[in-house]
Structure 1
Amino acid sequence: MASPASTTPTAHPPRPFAVPQRGSSVAGKAYWAMAQRVALTAAAIDCGYFVLFLWLGSPPLAWVNLASIAMYLGAYQLIQRRRNTAGILLIWLEVIVHSALGSLLVGWDSGFHYYLWLFIPAIVIANSGRYAAPMVLALLAYYLGLRFACDHWGALAPLPGKGQQIVNTLHTCLVFGMFAALAAFYRRTILIAENRLLKQATLDGLTGLNNRAHFHTLAGHTLTRIQRTGEPVALVLCDIDHFKQVNDRHGHAMGDRVLVAVAGVLARKLRESDVIARWGGEEFLALMPASSLESALEVAERIRVAVEQVEISDQGTPVPLTMSFGVTRVAGSDDLQAAIVRADKALYQSKNSGRNRATAG
């Protein structure tokens, strides 16, 4: 018997945590690979149950577990053949039927009904309130009905000796482990979603550098710290020369390749302590703490040479790359915007002076 929570079937797309479709993404492939592992693990556990119930003297439950093994292996094959919904429904069917048969045969105190609790977080997380509430209520009705049937008929095939206590202890340990695994699964899902949202909010989607808004945040923190220490700070604004011509002659896909290549050069040539961003279009901006104007000009020159040496071609035709730079010092009394204005003026001087150079401003 396996946890239904980690393989949640639903006729409607889950709201908070959408179950990915196989092949639609890396996450989708990973999800369905995990579902297959769940089916195989559950089949292995039921192999152990088969032996346990034969040892405890309950052949009916042993054969129930044999049927469960077949159902889990069938679910594994269905998911492998991309019949995902059918595979997940088969897993859920196994849990529901197995819980009922185990409770009726051995008795309520055996703990077979514990597995039904795992449906509650699965239903609530995977569905909106419109569908979750009726499904939870239906589960509650089924659960109470099973409890009533067990109380009314008693154990139809009770286990001898301490068999029921052994089974209850085993079920308690397994369900505790399944709830822990379920919590870990959804915690990881939340962390991945939060990390993805954070990247979307702070990083440029193409180059992976900081975006403009996040640059302001990081630069503000850096300048606040610098004002206390009094160390020099430099600002470098750079622009890819003739970038519009690259797009016009070679297409926007090539333009994207150029932006990514230049961003890679900047990331390699600047320090981890420097704050780098794609400022907009083909412009990039770097705030360099503990850097004088002279050292910033030297860094800009190294970047200029490295960009000029980038080898990129369009179907064998080389695409020449150069960059122009505006470099300025950020004084203690400056605000960031004033420094950016000075760097922008220095950049335009580089452009007007023939491009492919760095100018201090």
Structure 2
Amino acid sequence: MASSASTTAPTAHPPRPFAVPQRGSSVAGKAYWAMAQRVALTAAAIDCGYIALFLWLGSLPLALVNVGSIAMYLVAHALIQRRHNTAGILLIWLEVVAHSALGSLLVGWDSGFHYYLLLFIPAVVIANSGRYAAPIVLALLAYYLGLRWACDHWGALAPLAGKGQQIVNAIHVCVVFGMFAALAAFYRRTILIAENRLLKQATLDALTGLNNRAHFYTLAGHTLARIQRTGEPVALLLCDIDHFKQVNDRHGHATGDQVLVTVAGVLSRNLRESDVIARWGGEEFLALMPASPLASALEVAERIRVAIEQTTVHHQNNPVPLTMSFGVVQVASGDDLQAAIARADKALYQSKHGGRNRVTVG
């Protein structure tokens, strides 16, 4: 028998018994259901091996039980594939619960069929709030103890000959250890994905993927602290899309967003990985450039200006021309970051009032 307790995964949706993510609700939800289908097929394949095992041990009833289990897993796979998700998961639960009971009653408690029930505990607790998890776990405990009592009361109804029970127990221990490891790996991967998503939300601009203002201050602080020890030159580049309000007014905010993403791409391609770049706010972008003398920073700014000027965004097949204005300053050793940004902003202001689409040194 192969348990599929790992198919109950954490979900961001409102808690409910046997909570599962809704198909199509997120990338994680789609991955979850793909995983659930793989688990059903894997469990069916493992049960094929159990059929051979129990035929070898001379237990036709248990071999037939595994035939039924394979059918249930295949039906569960088909249900999930057809988006009957809850029915598919409940069928998997039913298979594990029934198979554990039948195996324990036929072969005896010491065969270890009951180990598979334990896989439900972390799955239930992680996937549900305490309101639902506690009663489900208590019900599972009652079922577990009731099954133990029944096995002690009636004994093995169809015991295996020789060391058959010990062989089955050893196999169950190995399989359940593997399943617990896979279950832990799944939840660890889920947690890491969630942490990474939260980190991106906290540090990156959702539209452009560049650093947001708060994270820029953090990264820039580290960079400035390092260069104060080395004495290397640092430049600051502040730029602003020309006539961006007109783009939004004439072509709509969707086109405006496309412009911002396009500009962010041009900036990223023309700046180094060591440069700290951020969407500063609205249509403004800011970059801290370590190991950059002022002359080098001016060359980079001019290269970006030309690249932006040669870039065109289309709205309904109509070109939307782009230009940017720049302010570039050298950050002196021990210079306050806010003061340097203020000087770059003043230089940018001069570019705007000097005709736009130009670079000004502050």
TM class by smaller structure: over 0.9
* Structure 1 contact 236–328 (Cα < 8 Å) conserved: yes
Q: How does 1:226-305 map to 2 (within 5 A)?
A: 226-305=227-306
Counterpart of 1:179? Answer: 180
Number of residue pairs matched? 360
Query: What amino acid is the match of 1:157?
Result: A
| Structure 1 residues 62-89: Cα deviation after superposition (integer angstroms, max 9, x where no partner) | 1111111111111011111110000000
Cα 1:315–1:10 change in 2 (3 A) is closer
Q: Distance in 2 between matches of 1:18 and 1:277?
A: 39
* Structure 2 contact 10–126 (Cα < 8 Å) conserved: no
Counterpart of 2:76? Answer: 75
Query: What amino acid is the match of 1:323?
Result: M
| Structure 1 residues 261-306: Cα deviation after superposition (integer angstroms, max 9, x where no partner) | 0000000000000000000000000000011111111110000000
Q: Does residue 37 in structure 1 map to residue 32 in structure 2?
A: no
Counterpart of 1:355? Answer: 356
Cα 1:223–1:277 change in 2 (3 A) is same
Query: What amino acid is the match of 2:59?
Result: S
- Alpha carbon RMSD of aligned pairs, Å? 1.6
Q: Does residue 203 in structure 1 map to residue 214 in structure 2?
A: no
Shift of 1:197: 0.1
Q: Distance in 2 between matches of 1:4 and 1:67?
A: 15
User: Partner of 1:185: helix, strand, or coil?
Assistant: helix
Counterpart of 2:344? Answer: 343
Shift of 1:48: 1.1
Q: Does residue 333 in structure 1 map to residue 334 in structure 2?
A: yes
* Structure 1 contact 99–112 (Cα < 8 Å) conserved: yes
Counterpart of 1:8? Answer: 8
Unpaired runs of 5+ residues, structure 1, are none
Q: Distance in 2 between matches of 1:62 and 1:2?
A: 13
Cα 1:177–1:260 change in 2 (3 A) is same
Q: Distance in 2 between matches of 1:9 and 1:331?
A: 53
| Structure 1 residues 302-335: Cα deviation after superposition (integer angstroms, max 9, x where no partner) | 0000000112211221111000000001111211
Cα 1:343–1:331 change in 2 (3 A) is same
Q: Distance in 2 between matches of 1:29 and 1:129?
A: 25
Counterpart of 2:119? Answer: 118
* Structure 1 contact 9–85 (Cα < 8 Å) conserved: no
Shift of 1:153: 1.0
Q: Distance in 1 between matches of 2:5 and 2:212?
A: 38
User: Partner of 1:301: helix, strand, or coil?
Assistant: helix
* Structure 2 contact 15–132 (Cα < 8 Å) conserved: no
| Structure 1 residues 134-180: Cα deviation after superposition (integer angstroms, max 9, x where no partner) | 11111111111111111111111000011001100100000000000
User: Partner of 1:344: helix, strand, or coil?
Assistant: helix
* Structure 1 contact 8–122 (Cα < 8 Å) conserved: yes
Q: Distance in 1 between matches of 2:250 and 2:185?
A: 51
* Structure 2 contact 241–324 (Cα < 8 Å) conserved: yes
| Structure 1 residues 198-234: Cα deviation after superposition (integer angstroms, max 9, x where no partner) | 0000000000000000000000000000100011100
| Structure 1 residues 230-256: Cα deviation after superposition (integer angstroms, max 9, x where no partner) | 111000000000000000010000000
User: Partner of 2:327: helix, strand, or coil?
Assistant: strand
* Structure 1 contact 307–323 (Cα < 8 Å) conserved: yes
Counterpart of 1:48? Answer: 49
Work out the percentage of aligned pairs sharing the same amino acid. Answer: 85
Shift of 1:18: 7.0
* Structure 2 contact 9–126 (Cα < 8 Å) conserved: no
Query: What amino acid is the match of 2:168?
Result: V
Cα 1:85–1:103 change in 2 (3 A) is same
Counterpart of 1:213? Answer: 214
Q: Distance in 2 between matches of 1:10 and 1:278?
A: 33
Which shifted more, 183-192 or 49-58?
Answer: 49-58
Q: Distance in 2 between matches of 1:97 and 1:25?
A: 32
* Structure 1 contact 238–283 (Cα < 8 Å) conserved: yes
User: Partner of 1:91: helix, strand, or coil?
Assistant: helix
User: Partner of 1:347: helix, strand, or coil?
Assistant: helix
Counterpart of 2:317? Answer: 316
